Structure 1
Amino acid sequence: MNVTSVSFPYGESIHWFSPQKIQSLPDNQLKDWLLATGSLTQRLKTHCTHFEVKILGEHLLTPLQDEFPSHREPVWIREVLLCLDGTPWVFARTLIPQNILDSTRNQFTHLGTRPLGELLFTSPDITPGNIEVAQFETCGRLAALATSLNQQVDASLWGRRRYFNLHDSQLIVSEIFLPAAVEHINNV
């Protein structure tokens, strides 16, 4: 794998849509994955023998323009690859505002290689919110990341973004399906 922390962060500015307001959602199995309301981590684990989180980087940074409209101050940004049997399937980017970091015992900044999804779907204090979807062009930063992982990008990448409510605030998790995942999902 050619990924280095020098390239962190990989996130790119993108316009997200409510699934009901986008006409071009994939008309295949991937659509079900994009709109699934349960834990993506748990679902991914059912498709492999070995599940692994590879950290690309995490740091207190200013979010991209329009990425977190209610926060212009720095937020904790964590970017990881979710790998199944050694193959990266999902690029995930999490944004956590400082007030959540200051007021929580969940230790978001000390997850290490533990999947965030396990914490989000097991904590009684965290409530999953709305899902939005987006299509990523083949010439963007995430396509370049996929290419660096030896995954050929022949079509647009698709991802979802979900808000999680905690202590009268929100954190955001974006999950973009890489070509290896899309190929497997659509051929099942």
Structure 2
Amino acid sequence: MNLSSPTFPFGNGIHWFSASAHTKLPQEPLKDWLLSPSSLTQRLKTRCSTFEVLLLGEQWIDTPTQEWHGAESQLWLREVLLRLDGVPWVFARTLITPALLQQQQQLEQLGNRPLGELLYSDNHFIAGEIDVCHIEQGSPMCTLAASLAQPTSAPLWGRRRHFSYQQLPLVVAEVFLPAAVLAINAET
């Protein structure tokens, strides 16, 4: 796996759509995984013996206007790979406001711990609607997949969910890598 820091962040430039308004979603069972309201972390853990979070990078960034609609000028960015039995299944990208980091300092200190466990174990985090993305060949996300020895032969799909903690926003995006899509589609 050749992941060098000059390529961080990896998830810039993804275009998101409301799942309820998107007319061309993937077939089941991947569609079920995309639209599931439950914790992706918990669901992934049922599919493996060893679940790992590989931190790709985290830092303060200027607010990406295509991803964020709040007034914040900077956000905390965290990007990780979720690996099942050593195989990267999901790329995850989290955007957090400075105000939320002040209230929940553990968010800045997650390291290789899964964010999903915190979000779904604390009733103060309220989950919002799910958006989806359809990533075509040639995107930075496909380049990342290829660097993981998972070349893309079909478009990638991802989901994004807005959370709030006492009115303070946080956004989590998750893109299913080719290995995950193959395994998920083998469920049928």
Give the TM-score normalised by the residue count of structure 2: 0.96
Distance 2:19 2:28 in 1: 15
Identity of aligned residues (%): 49
Distance 1:137 1:123, change over 3 A: same
Matched, 1:170 2:139: no
Displacement of 1:72 in angstroms is: 4.6
Q: How big is the shift at 1:63?
A: 3.1
| Post-superposition CA distance 1:95-126 (Å, at most 9, x none) | 00111111235x10101110000000001211
The CA deviation at 1:74 is 1.0
Report the Cα distance in structure 2 between the residues aligned to 1:39 and 1:178, rounded to whole angstroms.
18
Secondary structure at 1:21's aligned position in 2? coil
Aligned twin of 2:64: 64
Query: Could you tell me which amino acid in structure 1 is paired with residue 30 of structure 2?
Result: L
Question: 2:72, 2:97 within 8 Å by CA — same for their partners in 1?
Answer: no
1:91 and 1:71 mapped to 2: Cα distance? 26
Q: Match of 2:122?
A: 123
One-letter amino acid of the counterpart of residue 6, structure 1: P
1:103 lines up with 2:76 in the alignment = no
One-letter code aligned to 1:79:
E
Counterparts of 2:120 and 2:129 in 1: how far apart (Å)?
A: 14
**1:15 maps to what in 2?**
15
1:84 lines up with 2:84 in the alignment: yes
Deviation at 1:6, TM superposition (A): 2.5
Equivalent residue for 2:24? 24
| Aligned residue in 2 for 1:187 | 186
Gaps of 5+ in 1: none
* Matched position secondary structure for 2:23: coil
Structure 2 unaligned segments of length 5 or more: list them.
none
Work out whether residues 13 and 65 of structure 1, in 8 Å CA contact, stay in contact via their aligned partners in 2.
Answer: no
Superposition RMSD in Å? 1.1
- One-letter amino acid matched to 1:113: N
Structural mapping, 1:130-141, within 5 Å: 130-141=129-140
Q: What amino acid is aligned across from residue 96 of structure 1 in structure 2?
A: I
Aligned residues: 187
SS at match of 2:102: helix
